[in-house]
Amino acid sequence: MSGPAFDPVARAFQPDAVGQSVRLHGWVLRSRSSGGILFLVLRDRTGAVQVTARKDALGDAAFAAAEHVQNEGSVEIEGAVADDPRAPQGREVRARAITVLDAGLPFPIGSDQTEEFLLDRRHLAIRTQENVAIFRVKAEVLRAFRAFMEAEDVLEMTPPILSGNAAEGGAEAFQIDYFGRPGYLGQTAQLYLEALLFPNERVYAITPSFRAEKSRTPRHITEFQHLEAELAWCDLDGLLAFIERMWISVCRSVADTRPKELAELGRPPEELRAFTAPFPRIRYAEAIERLARQGLPVAWGSDLGAAEERALTLESAAPVFLTHFPRELKAFYMLRSTDDPRTVEAADLLGPEGYGEIVGASCRETNIDHLVERLREMHVDPAGYEWYLDLRRHGNVPHAGFGIGIERLMRWMLRRTHIRETTPFPRTPSRHTP
Ligand code: 4AD
Ligand code: MG
């Protein structure tokens, strides 16, 4: 690129910009022309500003070319910043020259379009102001998690996504052809993080996880961003305290850095600053008693569905830990409780306001016989888990960990109806394009 550098759109809003020349480039959010004046709103990553262009300033040919630019067409603009009370935020750029890079075809995304129409054009729909706000918040959420982990001295790891066995049992794993042998897309990085814990003590990873569940619900996607951590020397209380600190820290950080986007998306930032530890805790056994009183009977050993999770948290502004599940409900690696061997030292964190499970956490079983027994109960051949069982033979230590679905968190945080709104290219049972 030659010539003078381009200014960010935000430059136009700086106090000393009035009367100054700017050179901008970006995309046209919308435009209209009347009486020889073109009004267009130009956006770049730093914001949007009104640009006015007069036919007599641009010349007939350049004005006609600029008038033909469609929404989302790309342009370069040179002009002077001026205060104008009629412009949004009281500022505009009066153009001296507009260079059209790509006038564009009529942009197909507008208002009143069906969800399917928009999902088919998701590669374009991600440009809407609402989507820009959502994915700015998401970038901040990821940054805030990493900052928290760094502050807690937890090291980021890069476990594999492809593997030769399906960590949580085969049913919900996508199988692929791995050079003629079965391979699986990861449902969780947990087992690898457990291995990485021994040399590092405190580890985490953010990876895509895949679930071949045909669940058409507002909280399931088949590919999601999974943040998982494993902590050595940690019991259930220590684990829940860690998760509470993480929740509070991430929420405050997003409230501090993205208040405007949060407010636009329907979450007043103050609500993200209001959390305090400890969060309410309820054992599975108490939860099913409470649900029975609420007219939602659940037999001991049955899983709680979305309706039950909702009933337990609908009235709660805080997230709620549901703990001590019957062990037959949960994965083979969860630690048996010593006070009641029918249950495991596990917790799901249910989002506030009825949003359901956002975190799955547990202490890990250290007793190799219990692990093998549980695999057999689940009709899984322990031979496939030999490397994992080996971890219990070389410096076994108590440890615990959890996984949080980033999109589940965002669905609650941004009060979205469907989880797919929180991921740029959602994968669901009926869709894996664009
Ligand atoms: O509860 P899950 O299945 O737990 C595990 O995979 C553990 N191995 C994690 C660990 O301890 N390292 O999944 C963890 C979280 C859920 O609480 C949920 O937030 C999210 O992952 N999740 C999904 N998010 C979106 N769509 C789906 N289909 C999801 N399945 C799980
Ligand atoms: Mg779970």
Residue nearest to atom 21 of ligand 1 (CA): 405
- Under DSSP, the state recorded for 364 is B
Residue nearest to atom 4 of ligand 1 (CA): 360
How confident is the model at residue 109, as a pLDDT? 97
For a pocket test of ligand 1, which of 194, 207, 211 has the largest count of ligand atoms closer than 8 A to its C-beta?
211
User: How far is the centre of ligand 1, averaged over its atoms, from the C-alpha of 189 (Å)?
Assistant: 10
Please give the domain boundaries of the chain with CATH numbers for all domains: 9-102 (2.40.50.140), 119-422 (3.30.930.10)
- Mean pLDDT for all residues in the chain: 96
Q: Bridge-partner residues for 78, per DSSP?
A: 23, 97
Provide CB contacts within 8 A for 100, sequence distance 6+.
65, 66, 68, 69, 73, 74, 75
Pocket of ligand 1 (CB under 6 A): 168, 188, 190, 211, 213, 220-221, 224, 226, 228, 357-361, 401-405, 407-408, 419
User: How far is the centre of ligand 1, averaged over its atoms, from the C-alpha of 194 (Å)?
Assistant: 16
* 272-306 residue pLDDT tens: 999 999 999 999 999 999 999 999 999 999 999 99
How confident is the model at residue 170, as a pLDDT? 60
Residue 2 CA, chain-centre distance (Å), reads: 38
Provide CB contacts within 8 A for 204, sequence distance 6+.
149, 154, 155, 156, 157, 193, 227, 228, 229, 230
How confident is the model at residue 165, as a pLDDT? 80
Q: How far apart are CA 288 and CA 360, in angstroms?
A: 19
Alpha helices in 266-354, H assignment, sequence order: 269-273, 284-293, 306-313
Enter the tokens of residue 78.
Answer: 């040179």
For a pocket test of ligand 1, which of 174, 202, 357 has the largest count of ligand atoms closer than 8 A to its C-beta?
357
User: How far is the centre of ligand 1, averaged over its atoms, from the C-alpha of 360 (Å)?
Assistant: 6
Dmax (CA) of the chain = 85
Residue 14: how many other CB atoms lie within 10 Å: 13
User: How far is the centre of ligand 2, averaged over its atoms, from the C-alpha of 229 (Å)?
Assistant: 14
* 42-83 residue pLDDT tens: 999 999 999 999 999 999 999 999 999 999 999 999 999 999
pTM, entire model? 0.96
Q: How far apart are CA 93 and CA 49, in angstroms?
A: 7
How confident is the model at residue 166, as a pLDDT? 73
Ligand 1 nearest atom to the CA of residue 226, by list position: 21
Residue nearest to atom 3 of ligand 1 (CA): 360
Looking at all shown ligands, the one closest to residue 219's CA atom is: 1
* 79-91 residue pLDDT tens: 999 999 999 899 9
Q: Which residues surround ligand 2, an ion (CB under 5 A)?
A: 360
Please answer whether residues 273 and 251 qualify as being in contact, where contact means their C-beta atoms are separated by less than 8 angstroms.
yes
Residue nearest to atom 1 of ligand 1 (CA): 360
Low-confidence ranges of the chain (pLDDT < 50): none
User: How far is the centre of ligand 1, averaged over its atoms, from the C-alpha of 405 (Å)?
Assistant: 6
